[in-house]
């Protein structure tokens, strides 16, 4: 089951200024080194969607067997949306529902790929970090578009990548998961190093741009087509 350290648990329905304080306090808890199982057997993806013009937040977690990437289990959770979308504070809008979904799983995943940034964030505490620090599950941020940072031209071949930089600091990697597709933005969430995160994301990719973990959670979170 999912247990959150009461020492770091906090309110979600807070003003932006307080959300910022929470980020500044929790960013110190982020572990940027590998603290995950050597041999993985369960990897998961999490994504969030909305219903009723945004009134309802819906989170979906898809757990896949590793390395076969076959869907093993999934969970969906819905709750009233309480926080607006404000760049830099996405986690305050989406995390509550994500925690609910994780709580429904029969077994927690050994690593979780999140749909958004990890430390590639203005205060180095994006969605993936927030979910990771609260749950202690190793997490990786896999975003479809850039939020902050600059980078050189990304090599065209599959698996090619360059550092995502911000004020001289490496905050992530811009990774070409397939030849001829737009790259994805990978960053540390919690309990994993960037090299390991990049490698793991590639291990979760088959024939599409996005890793299977996020493809499954996307599909489940948005009630789309697909058998599962």
Partner DNA sequence: GCGACAG
Partner DNA sequence: ATCTTGTCGC
For DNA, the binding residues (CB under 7 A) are 47-50, 85, 87-91, 94, 115-117, 121, 126-127, 141, 143-147, 180, 222
Smallest distance from DNA to CB 71, Å: 20
The residue written with tokens 């306090």 in the block is 25
Minimum CB separation of residue 143 from DNA in Å reads: 4
- Nearest approach, Cβ of 203 to DNA (angstroms)? 20
Nearer to DNA, 54 or 67 (CB): 54
Query: What beta strand segments (E) does the chain contain?
Result: 42-51, 56-65, 71-80, 111-114, 139-143, 161-166, 169-175, 184-190
Nearer to DNA, 98 or 108 (CB): 98
| Minimum CB distance to DNA smaller for 107 or for 152 | 152
> CB-based contacts of 44: which residues, under 8 Å, 6+ apart?
61, 62, 63, 64, 109, 111, 112, 113, 213, 217
Tell me the HSE value of 67 on the side-chain side, using a 13 A CA sphere: 10
Residue 48 or 72 having the CB closest to DNA: 48
**Could you tell me the CA-to-CA distances from 60 to 96, 107, 159 in Å, in that order?**
12, 15, 27
Q: C-beta of 133: minimal distance to DNA in Å?
A: 13
């Amino acid at each position: 089951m999912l247990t959150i350290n009461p020492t770091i648990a906090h309110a979600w329905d807070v003003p932006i200024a307080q959300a910022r304080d929470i980020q500044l306090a929790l960013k110190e808890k982020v572990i940027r080194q590998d603290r995950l199982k050597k041999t993985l057997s369960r990897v998961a993806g999490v994504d969030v969607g909305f219903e009723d013009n945004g009134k309802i937040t819906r989170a979906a977690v898809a757990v896949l067997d590793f390395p076969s990437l076959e869907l093993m289990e999934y969970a969906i959770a819905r709750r009233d949306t309480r926080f607006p979308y404000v760049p830099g504070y996405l986690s305050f809008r989406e995390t509550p529902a994500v925690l609910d979904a994780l709580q429904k799983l029969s077994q927690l995943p050994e690593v979780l790929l999140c749909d958004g940034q990890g430390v590639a964030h203005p205060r180095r505490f994006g969605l993936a970090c927030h979910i990771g620090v609260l749950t202690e599950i190793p997490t990786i941020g896999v975003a479809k578009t850039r939020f902050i940072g600059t980078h050189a031209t990304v090599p065209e071949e599959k698996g090619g990548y360059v550092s995502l930089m911000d004020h001289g600091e490496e905050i992530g990697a811009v990774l070409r998961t397939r030849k001829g597709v737009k790259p994805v933005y990978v960053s540390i969430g919690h309990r994993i190093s960037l090299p390991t995160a990049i490698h793991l994301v590639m291990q979760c990719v088959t024939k599409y741009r996005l890793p299977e973990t996020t493809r499954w959670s996307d599909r489940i979170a948005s009630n789309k087509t697909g058998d599962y």
